[in-house]
Amino acid sequence: MNLLSLQQKEIIRKEILFKFYFVLLTVFSFWAAVFLILIYSINLYLKIQIPALEGRIAIEKSSEKAAAYGVVEQEITELNAGLFAIDRIRSKDFQETGKILRKVSSVVSEGISFTNLSYQGDVLTISGHADTRDRALVLKSALETDSLCARLQSPVPVKELDVSFTFVCSLTDVEKNQQVSPAEEDEGNDL
């Protein structure tokens, strides 16, 4: 290299410098193109994902509101049931319930306890325990012969002691079958 003239050395140096700049510009251009492609793909991805995520958020918010509405609706149903019970107490049905309870209690003997006594419409369901099988059968026959129940259905208890029972019967007309004692009649006439 020392044997070359200064002019040739300058040309070689410019050529090396030109090649260096060209390689540097090519590498920079390549990475700039990669960066621009990445920016474009990220922008395209976000244009698609943001509306989808906003839709998902809206759905989740509406489902949370629906769950809250479900809770409110359940509370309203419970309150309506309470109001219905209060209305039923005020109505004639509750008075009939008292008459039914009096009739059932009049046929109950010692050694029998009730766990459930319910009626809906004209179906009376009595569940409970009896000390012995005989006491449960006596209650069954008393209900069958009483004017309160018609079509009594019950399984025959198998155990001899500590018998669980369930009696289901159709109620007859309580108003017609209510027997009024002369003393109660006199009390009603005093008014």
Identify the CATH number of the domain in which residue 108 sits: 3.30.1360.100
Write 65-69 long-range contacts (CB < 8 A, 24+). none
Task: State the pairing for strand pair 123-132/112-120.
Answer: antiparallel
Domain boundary among 90, 106, 136: 90
For residue 145, is it within any domain? Answer: yes
Domain boundary among 90, 110, 125: 90
Residues 59-85 have a mean pLDDT of 83
- Domain range spanning residue 125? 97-177
Domain boundary among 32, 61, 90: 90
CA–CA distance, 76 with 82 (Å, rounded to integer): 10
pLDDT digits (tens, 9 = 90+) for 13-53: 999 999 999 999 999 999 999 999 999 999 999 999 888 88
> For residue 159, which phi and psi values (nearest 5 degrees)?
-70, 155
Query: Is the pTM for the entire model greater than 0.95?
Result: no
Residues 13 and 83 in one domain: yes
